[in-house]
A and B are shown apart, each in its own frame.
Chain A
Amino acid sequence: EVQLVESGGGLIRPGGSLRLSCVASGFTFSNYWMSWVRQSPGKGLEWVATISQRANEKYYVDHAKGRFTISRDNARNSLYLQMNSLRVEDTAIYYCARTENFGPYLPQPLFDYWGRGSLISVSS
């Protein structure tokens, strides 16, 4: 059974930093692209970042470029999202998602399994 378990969320002040983790099990982690997707009441579901199997390709939504970094450790079956310069509008539940990539050039990623999410609240 595919399982994805996120951790690392919490309450953080604007301008602060936080690192989310996601531990995967039930599949061969190193064979899959992985992604982060977030959900907030105001903006709904929003793709944040995607990383290739060997971490040589990384893609971000525009507002995350320069602030967020997606990474992975295949030996630990783990995905990470380092978030810096956090803003109030980054408040959301962050989901880790296993990703099937159909694109031969730029990714065309299908998010086929999702974790239960980790809540990040950015507030002064």
Chain B
Amino acid sequence: EVVLRQSPGTLSLSPGERATLSCRASQSISSNFVAWFQQKPGQAPRLLISGASNRATGIPDRFGGSGSGTDFTLTISRVEAEDFAVYFCQQYDSIPYTFGQGTKLDFK
């Protein structure tokens, strides 16, 4: 089973700042089958990024994904008020498909 570890657990930023969220896998993920999701309280996860770096439909270009192998990053170039939420990475390369434990982006 691929274990995904996200860091930091909580990231406290002000609007306009840059956010960098990390996701590290216990083994290499082929074809970069890594997705990032955003989840707000009481809502379902929303797909942001697939294939490590491809923005999903309707996702603003301030969200960017990068990485390969075992290290992946979600970057929000300039955080906006609506971006404060929990972010999860997920690998869909091998069964069982696994999620990271999440990074909470909160308001400083």
- In the assembled complex, which residues on chain B have CB atoms less than 8 Å from the CB atom of A106? 94-95
Interface of chain B, helix or strand or loop or mixed? loop
With A110-B35, A116-B43: A59-B95 Cβ-Cβ less than 8 Å: yes
Q: Mark A104-119, 1 if CB is under 8 A from B, else 0.
A: 0011111111111100
Beyond A44-B101, A45-B88, A47-B98, whether A108 also contacts B45 by CB under 8 A is no
Interchain CB contact under 8 A, B93 and A108: yes
B residues with CB within 8 A of A: 31, 33, 35, 43-47, 50, 56, 88, 90, 92-99, 101-102
* Chain B nearest Cβ from A103, distance in angstroms: 9
Q: Given A102-B33, A108-B31 in contact, is the A116-B98 Cβ separation under 8 Å?
A: no
Among A47, A102, A116, the residue within 8 A (CB) of B96 is A47
Q: In the complex, are the beta carbons of B96 and A114 less than 8 A apart?
A: no
Q: Quick one: which of B35, B93, B94, B95 contacts A111, CB cutoff 8 A?
A: B35
Can you list 22 A-B pairs with a CB-CB distance of less than 8 A? A44-B101, A45-B45, A45-B90, A47-B99, A59-B95, A61-B96, A62-B96, A106-B94, A108-B33, A108-B92, A108-B93, A109-B97, A110-B33, A110-B50, A110-B92, A111-B35, A111-B45, A112-B56, A113-B47, A115-B44, A116-B43, A117-B44
- B50 pairs with A44, CB closer than 8 A: no
Say yes or no: is A80 at the interface (Cβ < 8 Å to chain B).
Answer: no
How many of chain A's residues have a CB under 8 angstroms from any CB in B? 21
A interface secondary structure, majority: strand
